Structure 1
Amino acid sequence: GTCAHSLTVPPHLCLSGEQVHILGCEVSEEEFREGFDSDINNRLVYHDFFRDPLNWSKTEEALPGGPLGALRAICKRTDPGPVTIALDSLSWLLLHLPCTTLCQALHAVSHQDSCPGDSSPVGKVSVLGLLHEELHGPGPVGALSSLAQTEVTLGGTKGQASAHILCRRPRQRPTDQTQWFSILPDFSLDLQEGPSVESQPCSDPHIPPVDPTTHLTFNLHLSKKEREARDSLILPFQFSSEK
C-alpha cells in the first residue's frame, strides 16, 4: 500500500498492460480522465462513487458494499495478472467509515495471499491511496501509515515541490528518500537534484525513538570517588607486595 497527498496514476502501469482500477469518490470520472491519452484511458477501469456514493438512486450498476465492497470484489477476481487499485481517496472513506473498518479492509487485502483455503490463481494486488493528512488527527494517520509499504508525502509549491518517500520492507530497516521536482505548465514533472536524493536508512516517523538507558536500575558512569575506589581495589588473584 501507499499513502500519498495527491493521486496520479503512474502511466507505466497502464502501458505495461497492468489492470488499474480507480475507486473514485472525490471527482467525477470525466475530471479524473482529463489529461490522460486514449491508450491509458482505455486501460483504466473507473468505479464511480462520486455521483451517488450512497446509492440513493438504487441503480443496478451500483456495486454492493460501496467502495470497500468494490475493493473486495476486485481482489477476488480470477484474472492471474497483477492489478493496481487506486483509492480516491482514503480521506473520503475516513469521513464515512470508522477508521478500524477501513484499516481491517486494507489489512485483509495485503494478506489475501496467506488466506487458508483460497487456491485461486490471483495475481499481485497493489493498493494506492490518497490521504489529505491535514484533515485527520494523528491516530488515523498513524494507523493507515503503519499499513503502507511505501509512504509518499508531498510538500512545497508548484515551482519547488518535494516528495518524501519512506519505504518499509519486511525484516529490513526503513529507507528514506527525498525527490525534488517542479510542475511544468503542461502538468508534467521536471525532476531536480535536491540536497538529499540518495536512499538512506531512517527511523520510522510514526514510531518514537527509544532511549536505551531509560529503565536501567544502575548508573552506567562512575563518579570520581567511585573510580578511585575501583582503581585502588586489590582483587584476591592479583599479586601484591603487601600480601
Structure 2
Amino acid sequence: MLDSLLALGGLVLLRDSVEWEGRGLLKALIKKSALSGEQVHVLGCEVSEEEFREGFDSCVNSRLIYYDFFRDPLSWSKTGEAFPEGPLGVLRAICRRTDPGPATIALDSLSWLLLHLPCTAICQTLHALSHQNSYPGDSSPVKQVHVLGLLHEELHGPGLVGALSSLTQTEVILGGLMGQASAHVLFRKPQQRPTYQVDPRTHLTFNLHLSKEEREAKDSLILPFQFSSEKQQVLLRTAPGQPPSHIFYEPDAYDDLDQEDPDDDLDI
C-alpha cells in the first residue's frame, strides 16, 4: 500500500478523525521515502520534534529536515530558532531548492496551517509544490515531489475539504468498523491535454451541405406565411371606394371551425 501511495508525485491527503488518527500512517510514509533515498522535509506543528522522531532509527532521522513550529508557533520568543517568514516561507524555500533529486514534504498537520493561515495562500503553495512549479526568479523547478498532508477532517467544513481534494493526486480516508481500522484510497489520474483535435463533422448520419438541385428546390419553396401574388395585387391596387384594408383567411387543415355562436347562451 505504501508503495502505491508514493508511486505518483503530487499531494497525498491523509484524512483522519479523532477515533482513527493518521499520524502513524504519515510516519510510515516518511520512513518509506527516507529509506528509498529521498530527502524528507517535515513541518512539525502539533507535536514536539522529539515525539515526532520517536520510533525512527538513525538512518531515517538523518534524512529528516525538521522545521519546528510546535515550540514557538507564533514566533513570540524571538529566538534564532524562529522562522521569520513562517511556514509558508519555509514551503516556498523548499520549492526554490536547487537539489535536483526527489523529495518528500510532510505537513503535520495541514489542519494547523489552515487554522492559522489564509486558505488561498496555502492552496496556492501546495499547488506550486505538488506540480513542481517554480516561483518568480527561480529557473530550476524541482523534480518529483511528494507532499504528505495530514488533515483532521472533523475540524473543517465540506467546502474547504472539497477545495483541498481538488488539488490532490491521492486521498486516504481513514476509518474503521468494530475496532478494525481501514483506509479508503482514492487515486486521481492527472489531467492531460489532447494531442489531436477531432472534427465534429466527421461520422455524421446526415449531410450538412445541399446539392444544386436541393438548393433550387429550397429557393422555390413557398412558405405558408408568405403572401401569394393575388394577395399582393389586391393590397397594392385598391379600387376607388373600396375599404383600405382586408382580412384574408385561409383555413388550415387542422382548424376547428365551429359554426355555432359560442356566446348564444349569453343575454347580450
TM-score range, shorter chain: 0.5 to 0.7
Where 1:30 maps in the other structure, the secondary structure is helix
Q: Deviations over 1:26-81 (max 9, x none)?
A: 00000001111111111111110000011111122322321111111111111111
The one-letter code sitting in structure 1 at the alignment partner of 2:73 is P
Give the Cα separation in 2 of the matches to 1:106 and 1:113: 10
Where 1:131 maps in the other structure, the secondary structure is strand
User: Equivalent residue for 1:86?
Assistant: 106
Residue correspondence of structure 1 range 179-194 to structure 2 within 5 A: none
Q: Deviations over 1:130-188 (max 9, x none)?
A: 0000111101111111111100010016951111000111248xxxxxxxxxxxxxxxx
* 1:47–1:150 distance in 2 versus 1, CA, 3 Å: same
Give the Cα separation in 1 of the matches to 2:178 and 2:101: 36
Which among 53, 56, 67 is matched to residue 33 of structure 1? Answer: 53
1:3 aligned onto 2:13: yes
User: Equivalent residue for 2:145?
Assistant: 125
Q: Percent identity?
A: 74
TM-score normalised by length of structure 1: 0.66
1:69 aligned onto 2:79: no
Give the Cα separation in 1 of the matches to 2:133 and 2:125: 14
Greater relative contact order (Cα < 8 A, sep 6+): 2
User: Equivalent residue for 1:151?
Assistant: 171
| CA positional deviation for 1:85 | 0.5
Residue correspondence of structure 1 range 76-225 to structure 2 within 5 A: 76-113=96-133, 118-120=138-140, 122-156=142-176, 159-171=179-191
Contact conserved, 1:79 with 1:121, CA < 8 A, in 2?
no
Contact conserved, 2:95 with 2:134, CA < 8 A, in 1?
no
Q: Deviations over 1:11-37 (max 9, x none)?
A: 221111100011000000000011111
| CA positional deviation for 1:122 | 2.8
Where 2:62 maps in the other structure, the secondary structure is helix
Contact conserved, 2:134 with 2:140, CA < 8 A, in 1?
no
Give the CA RMSD over aligned residues.
Answer: 2.0
TM-score normalised by length of structure 2: 0.60
Contact conserved, 1:75 with 1:109, CA < 8 A, in 2?
yes
